[in-house]
Amino acid sequence: MNFDLTVNYKTILTKIDWIVFFSILILTIAAVIYGQYKKKKLNNKELAFLDLLLMGRQLTLPMFVATLVATWYGGIFGVTKIAFEQGIFNFITQGVFWYIAYILFAFFITHKIAKYKALTLPDLVEQMFGPKAGKLSAVFNFFNVLPIAYVISLGLLIQALFGISFLQSMIIGVTVVVLYTLYGGFRAIVFSDIVQFFVMCLGVFLVLVFSYKIFGGIGFLKTNLPDTHFSLTGGVGIATTLVWGFIALSTLVDPNFYQRVFAAKNTKVAKRGILISTIIWFLFDICTTSGAMYARAVIPEAASDKAYLIYALQILPNGVKGLVLAGILATILSTLDSYLFIAGTTVSYDMMPKKLKGKTYIHNFGIIIVGIIAVLMGVIFKGNIKAVWKTLGSYSASCLLLPVLYGYIFPKRIKDYQFVFASILGVITVSVWGNIKLSGFWQNVDELYMGIVATSLGLASYGLVYNLITKRKIINK
């Protein structure tokens, strides 16, 4: 086969492809409208803010799995870029490490958080540690859910399809997603995720099937790829690889994960749903990693961030191209709308004073503001999805994850100000370490590791000083 590295999408996509593509978009919109219709059938009590945020805590197992799986893969151009450049390193860093985090969440956290009946992650943190910790975690939450990577992904797709500028592409994409997210709340997201779940899974599976059919299996890849593409560390070393392991553990403080668990009908649904989702993610990662490796083997000169799309649309038959394209779009949209919604929730519920907390119009305003910020940050990061994940993940994993985990392991032992002190110390350390020039051994020490050390020392030192002061007061009395 002859591959074109400068694909003209207007000519490569046939009428049947566009019909399939827009049919799936219409089906997604129909799902949103149906979800809104179901909401109007509910009584007044269920139409409260709880329904807006958590669908009244009525997520059944199928809906839980569909919305959780769909929400997790919006950065498809990010993972395929890593797989294109470094092979199975992507499966390890963006797959295996995360499976470990999912299983830990299912077995050790779902039952711990059920008793709090929280609405959001900062709400949970406030109940566990205190109001100051809750407010600080809301700030972390806000930056953690800024959907920069997914705005970039959507911008890249629209730019590729319609040939307009990257900035215009991001603005158009975000505007559409913001509008339907405002329309139906979390319920709209869940119902749209059900459609997007099936389309995205089928799409990446078909790319792998046709790749195998045309080029063969592992023998073809080994012949046409560098040896480093089959290295677990991708040629970057164990220390750098393990950084992604800690970033994966940030799942344990990911607000989207918590939202689905809070919205589940019960703990059993949440636990089973996470385990089933993990199996699906495993299969999905095999498809995306393998597909991107085929792309590298066939068109190594292609731009890595768009290679998977360029490759897929040239090996697939007419009609299937439209389905796969819709699957890639569904993968992005299903994550972007969730992150926009959670960020809006953080603004309206977790950051607002009590008299304004829970106001729907503030929630909607928050979604719009977050959309604007995400577009601006997409420009600042110059479309580099991997850099976005690495930067935001380092702060989340080193500054928020550890205090929350210690709170689970040692309930009621971490004080409100202790949480705040340790987390801020971690933020300062990560920021400084990542922006100073280092030499020798220290230049190979990632800022995430230093953040973990600083946060841990902050928790320990504050606790030690607090205990000494408390004992002295008791003695003086």
Q: Which domains does the chain have, with CATH numbers?
A: 9-386 (1.20.1730.10)
Three-state SS string over 221-287 comes to HHHHCCHHHHCCCCCCCHHHHHHHHHHHHHHHHCHHHHHHHHHECCHHHHHHHHHHHHHHHHHHHHH
Residue 264 has φ and ψ, to the nearest 5°, of -65, 150
Q: What is the pLDDT of residue 6?
A: 67
250 contacts: CB under 8 Å, gap ≥ 6: 101, 144, 393, 396, 397, 400, 401
* Structure tokens belonging to residue 435: 């922006």
Q: How far apart are CA 276 and CA 294, in angstroms?
A: 28
DSSP string over 188-224:
HHHHHHHHHHHHHHHHHHHHHHHHHHHH-SHHHHHHH
295 contacts: CB under 8 Å, gap ≥ 6: 80, 84, 302, 307, 308, 310, 311, 312
pLDDT in tens, the chain (477 residues): 677 776 677 778 889 999 998 898 888 888 878 777 766 555 554 455 677 778 878 899 999 999 999 887 767 888 899 999 999 999 999 899 999 999 999 999 998 898 888 888 899 999 999 999 999 988 888 887 788 888 888 888 888 788 888 899 999 989 988 887 777 678 878 888 888 899 889 989 999 999 999 999 999 999 999 999 999 888 788 888 888 888 888 888 888 888 899 999 999 999 999 999 999 999 999 999 999 999 999 999 988 888 998 899 889 999 899 998 888 888 788 788 888 888 888 888 888 887 777 677 888 888 888 889 889 988 888 777 777 877 777 788 778 888 888 888 888 888 899 999 999 998 899 889 888 887 777 777 888 888 889 999 998 888 777 666 665 655 555
Q: What is the pLDDT of residue 470?
A: 63
For helices 307-315 and 76-86, angle between their N-to-C axes, nearest 10 degrees:
90
Nearest Cα to Cα of residue 191 among 359, 385, 35:
35
pTM above 0.85, yes or no: no
Burial 267-280 (b: 16+ CB within 10 A, else e): eebbbbbbebbbeb
For 245-289, write each residue's pLDDT tens digit. Answer: 888 888 888 888 888 999 999 999 999 999 999 999 999 999 999
Q: What is the pLDDT of residue 55?
A: 81
CB 55 within 8 A of CB 263: yes
For 114-148, write each residue's pLDDT tens digit. Answer: 888 888 889 999 999 999 999 998 888 888 778 88
Q: What is the pLDDT of residue 223?
A: 94
For 422-465, write each residue's pLDDT tens digit. Answer: 999 988 998 898 888 877 777 778 888 888 899 999 988 887 77
CB 473 within 8 A of CB 455: no
CB 291 within 8 A of CB 112: no
| CA 184 to the chain's CA centroid | 21
Alpha helices in 5-147 (DSSP H): 9-12, 15-40, 49-54, 61-71, 76-86, 89-91, 97-108, 110-114, 121-128, 131-144
